[in-house]
Structure 1
Amino acid sequence: MSGTPTRYRSSDEDSARWQGLALRPGDIVISTRSKSGTTWMQMICALLVLRTPELPAPLSELSPWLDWLVEPQEAVYARLAAQRHRRFIKTHTPLDGVPADPQVHYVVVARHPLDLAVSLHHQAANLDRARLAELTGQPDAPEPERPRPPIEQALVRWIDADPDPRTELDSLPGVLWHLRDAWVRRHRPNIHLVHYDDLRADLSGQMHRLAARLGLDPPGPELVEAATFDRMRAHADRLAPDPAGVLKDRQAFFRSGRSGQGRAMLDDEARARYRSRCAALAPPDLLSWLHRDG
């Protein structure tokens, strides 16, 4: 977050869109990997900022995904400029790809990579890829979807894949690239790391902790209840990140929210390969925190 930001670009995202946004003191940037609790953290921030479980607009309007090419840049800028409440903005860009501002808060949510990968596998089947290609201006229709491998096989392939993390951020190298960058900044007063499993174990405590870090009033029980998985799933039409209709089923976006699924799907050999890959990609203290090793 110093010097020229790294540019991250894919078929439907471009972190360069951050360069045209005028940040405000107090803005909250929610920087996560896909399926790591992004929408959950957006909802938590919405509740802490707006102080009501009845949001005045769909969550994706209140907290737009700035780098997503599905919505024209000018429309996103205009909506953010018109907001008078404290803004909370979504990105899947690592912190080294967004503008640094000591008066802005950056919240990074981490999830066990194997659980993230399981959620990604299911999310891929819920995307309308033809609609996504249309909205992002891709000239050719996407290829017909091929039969998907069993999830256990797909998970092993995900562990073994070794792409450039800067071009495939949802790969294992990309996930740990994102988290490693945030980890080295974690002692800064405006950088806040949150673990998905801590949200599951003590949602109220984590919301109180985050409110204090952000300088916001602590939440009452009704705000904590509104951030639970069941409540969010029941309001999927307004909370799912789908402003342009790219999800086949909004409720399916909130699939289970559980932890430990990925590890349970691997045999001992695959678990050992996973640990070896992680050890080559991230420092031991980050991995201990990420894997909940005590």
Structure 2
Amino acid sequence: MSDAPIRYRSADEDSARWLGFPFRPGDIVISTRSKSGTTWMQMICALLVLRTPELPAPLIELSPWLDWLVEPQERVYARLAAQRHRRFIKTHTPLDGVPGDPRVHYVVVARHPLDMAVSLHHQGANLDRARLAELTGRSVPPAPDGPRQPVERALVRWIDADPDPSAELDSLPGVMWHLRDAWARRHLPNVHLVHYDDLQADLSGQMRRLAERLDLEPPGPDLVAAATFARMRARADRLAPDSAGVLKDRNAFFRSGRSGQGSALLDDETRARYHSRVAALAPPDLLAWLHRAEA
């Protein structure tokens, strides 16, 4: 959302695909970190826009992941150009990597970083990496998956790692980079921050709040019910982001991740080390909002 967006690239994403994208007034860009409620927010937007719990197509077709290299750019652009409903588009790119347009709404979903990291660890075991490499055209096949380390150990390593945040956006520095940038823009009328824990605690109220911010009609009980975790998991075949077959198990994508699960896995010393690290990566008011479940 800057005059000169930052370019973010990974093995299967490239934010340069946003450059030149022809926005329409009212477009909704859903910008999240991985395993932070992306599909949940896509479903909420689908329900608020289309006004029916029976979606007319799989969610990933209704709400394409624009910068995912698995699908050719021209095909994604063409599908979005053909849509006649109000568009809602997925990205894992921070807002400073997406062109800014005052006619467009930008929704950022935040989740407690420790909970996100736990879900990300479990998601890693559900990816068919050979299939992903084939689809993105990587010439070197991925190494065979070795024995996976316990989630507790993986979480500690994730807390202590210190990569370039712009290169590894799902690292702790990368997560805080994404959220810090969105937090600094929260005063803008077209930037909307949503907390994952608020969706869990009051889905109906959060859907009504978002509908008001997006100038949409408030949801009825049928639409709220369709956005519950249980209902979404029951329809994983149409809602999981897996048009290309990169998930080993679509039902496992909707793993029941509880708020507070990440912090509960840590001892007091490691938990204190986590808080010391994030205090150096984000302002206190953002951290108070992000960590409210610990208060």
Short-chain TM bin: over 0.9
CA-to-partner distance for each residue in 1:137-194, whole Å, 9 max, x for gaps? 0001111111111110000000000000000000000000000000000011000000
Question: Aligned partners of 2:165, 2:140: CA distance in 1, in Å?
Answer: 26
What is the match of residue 62 of structure 1? 62
User: Structure 1 residues 2-11 or 194-203, which shifts more?
Assistant: 2-11
Question: Aligned partners of 2:184, 2:163: CA distance in 1, in Å?
Answer: 23
Q: What one-letter code is carried by the residue in structure 1 that aligns with 2:148? A: R
> Secondary structure of 2:194's partner?
strand
> Secondary structure of 1:231's partner?
helix
Question: Aligned partners of 2:290, 2:259: CA distance in 1, in Å?
Answer: 12
What is the match of residue 49 of structure 1? 49
What is the match of residue 160 of structure 1? 160
What is the match of residue 114 of structure 1? 114
What is the match of residue 260 of structure 1? 260
Matched, 1:128 2:107: no
> Secondary structure of 1:20's partner?
coil
> Secondary structure of 2:66's partner?
coil
What is the match of residue 141 of structure 2? 141
Map 1:11-90 → 2, pairs under 5 A: 11-90=11-90
The question of whether the paired residues in 2 share the 8 Å contact of 1:236 and 1:254 is answered with: yes
| C-alpha displacement of 1:2 | 2.3
CA-to-partner distance for each residue in 1:92-123, whole Å, 9 max, x for gaps? 00000001000100000000000000000000
User: Structure 1 residues 253-262 or 263-272, which shifts more?
Assistant: 253-262
Any stretches of 5+ residues in structure 1 without a counterpart? none
| C-alpha displacement of 1:20 | 2.9
Q: TM-score of the superposition, structure 2-length normalised? A: 0.99
| C-alpha displacement of 1:208 | 0.1
What is the match of residue 273 of structure 1? 273
Deviating beyond 6 angstroms after TM superposition, the runs of 4 or more aligned structure 1 residues are none
Question: Aligned partners of 1:55, 1:258: CA distance in 2, in Å?
Answer: 27
Question: Aligned partners of 2:59, 2:149: CA distance in 1, in Å?
Answer: 33
Q: What one-letter code is carried by the residue in structure 2 that aligns with 1:116? A: M
> Secondary structure of 2:19's partner?
helix
What is the match of residue 181 of structure 1? 181
Question: Aligned partners of 1:80, 1:20: CA distance in 2, in Å?
Answer: 14
Q: What one-letter code is carried by the residue in structure 2 that aligns with 1:126? A: N
| C-alpha displacement of 1:3 | 1.7
> Secondary structure of 1:109's partner?
strand
Question: Aligned partners of 2:260, 2:61: CA distance in 1, in Å?
Answer: 32
Question: Aligned partners of 2:27, 2:217: CA distance in 1, in Å?
Answer: 16
Question: Aligned partners of 2:147, 2:257: CA distance in 1, in Å?
Answer: 25
Question: Aligned partners of 2:135, 2:51: CA distance in 1, in Å?
Answer: 34
The question of whether the paired residues in 1 share the 8 Å contact of 2:6 and 2:96 is answered with: yes
The question of whether the paired residues in 1 share the 8 Å contact of 2:2 and 2:98 is answered with: no
Question: Aligned partners of 2:188, 2:243: CA distance in 1, in Å?
Answer: 33
Any stretches of 5+ residues in structure 2 without a counterpart? none
Question: Aligned partners of 2:259, 2:66: CA distance in 1, in Å?
Answer: 28
The question of whether the paired residues in 2 share the 8 Å contact of 1:229 and 1:257 is answered with: no
What is the match of residue 202 of structure 1? 202
> Secondary structure of 1:31's partner?
strand
CA-to-partner distance for each residue in 1:80-100, whole Å, 9 max, x for gaps? 000000000000000000010
What is the match of residue 248 of structure 1? 248
Name the Cα RMSD after superposition.
0.6
| C-alpha displacement of 1:47 | 0.1
Number of positions where the alignment pairs a residue of Structure 1 with one of Structure 2: 294
Q: TM-score of the superposition, structure 1-length normalised? A: 0.99
